Amino acid sequence: PDSAKDGSCSSPESSLPSVQQEQVKAETLPDLNAKILDEDWDDIPPSSALEVISEEEAVQIIAEPLLPIQSSTLRDYVDHSETLTKLVHLGVNLSQVEKCQKAGQLLLTLDFEKDVKKILLFLKDVGVEDNQLGRFLTKNPYILGEDLEALETRVAYLKSKKFDKSEIAQMVSRAPYLLLFSVERLDNRLAFFKNELGLSVKKTKDLVIRLPRLVTGKLEPVKENLQVCQIELGFQRNEIQQIVYKTPKILTASKKRLRQTFDYLHNIMGIPHHMLTRFPQVFNSKLLRIRERHMFLAFLGRAQYDPAQPSYISLDQLVSLPDEVFCTELAKASLQDFENFLKTL
């Protein structure tokens, strides 16, 4: 055997021991009795549970924690699951994941090396930053169960629609469910906004880049807000088009808030439709902020929103400037005057 290991060869005659050698070897063998020969040395009997052991031996025994048969929290499984442990290290909030239907069961069935790692590498390649992975997976743990080829096909579709890498990264990061949508659903969503709003391809693209959750959210609230703008608030189709393109959030705003803000701006402050179309960002502001500032300006006799008149105040400045700048530049008063006025309301 030794010569075989090192590759050397020897003649058959030299490998055969003589009869005399065999006899010598036989004489040197110990005289074992039959009982010892029949004994299986590898079969070591297990120690008894009642066997007395020393304290030193006892502290060296490591008992594996029992895996809970059923639990309402993923926390109980972290010590038993490499996948959960590594997801926690990435910053995934398991208490939030538990609130997603069947997400907990999904994570417990995944192998980190086989299932999870390739999705993480894919997300990084798409443009999701390392420090965003935990937040992303907390919001959308289901992506870990998606087929990698299907995800790559959806990214390829977005590229075919002229979304560049940075735009896709921005959309995926801000709307984590985006890549769960099939190519057909993505195509239908883009077509809906293009046709419903009468936008060009470029403007439709710009719209969903700025607010990608329009693609992943429900369409019913969007349709309702468009009807509110047209039927109840009285905007024309071309005005709605301009408003939505400048301020996409108006499509997902509360209908009640939309009505109340419009009522105050149009009926109390006297702002006409064409001015609201020009400065639609005013709909994103809190009604209380609009009311307090308008009342202060009216108290000072400076509530002038007509650009054709002197001392004109734009709606954009009315809602966007910090209190101190609003007071000094628009109201021509001090911040203390404004605070004192608010106390009288």
Q: Is residue 229 part of a domain?
A: no
What is the reported pLDDT for 83? 85
Q: Left, alpha or beta for 91 (phi > 0: left; psi -120 to 50: alpha)?
A: left
| Cβ atoms of 291 and 260 closer than 8 Å | no
Q: Is residue 93 part of a domain?
A: yes
Q: Is residue 231 part of a domain?
A: no
Report the number of distinct structural domains present in the chain. 1
Q: Is residue 327 part of a domain?
A: no
Integer Cα distance of 101 and 136 in angstroms? 17
Q: Is residue 193 part of a domain?
A: no
Render each residue's pLDDT in the chain as its tens digit; 345 residues.
343 334 333 333 333 343 344 444 444 444 444 444 444 444 444 445 556 666 676 566 554 454 455 555 777 667 778 888 889 889 999 889 888 888 888 888 899 999 999 999 999 999 999 999 999 999 999 999 999 999 999 999 999 999 999 999 999 999 999 999 999 999 999 999 999 999 999 999 999 999 999 999 999 999 999 999 999 999 999 999 999 999 999 999 999 999 999 999 999 999 999 999 999 999 999 999 999 999 999 999 999 999 998 889 999 999 999 999 999 999 999 999 999 999 998
What is the reported pLDDT for 72? 56
**Domain residue limits at 81:** 70-145
What is the reported pLDDT for 100? 87
Q: Model-level pTM greater than 0.75?
A: no
| Cβ atoms of 126 and 169 closer than 8 Å | yes
| Cβ atoms of 215 and 179 closer than 8 Å | no
Q: Is residue 108 part of a domain?
A: yes
Q: Is residue 92 part of a domain?
A: yes
Q: How many CB atoms lie within 10 A of CB 266?
A: 16
What is the reported pLDDT for 74? 73
Nearest partner of 245 among 285, 283, 210, judged by Cα: 210
Whose structure tokens read 């005399």?
20
Structure tokens at 80: 């038993």
What is the reported pLDDT for 247? 94
Residues 6+ apart with CB under 8 A from 100: 141, 142
Q: Left, alpha or beta for 234 (phi > 0: left; psi -120 to 50: alpha)?
A: left
| Cβ atoms of 282 and 318 closer than 8 Å | yes
Q: Is residue 31 part of a domain?
A: no
Q: What is the DSSP string of 56-98?
A: HHHHT--PPPPPPSS-S-GGGGGGG-HHHHHHHHHT--HHHHT
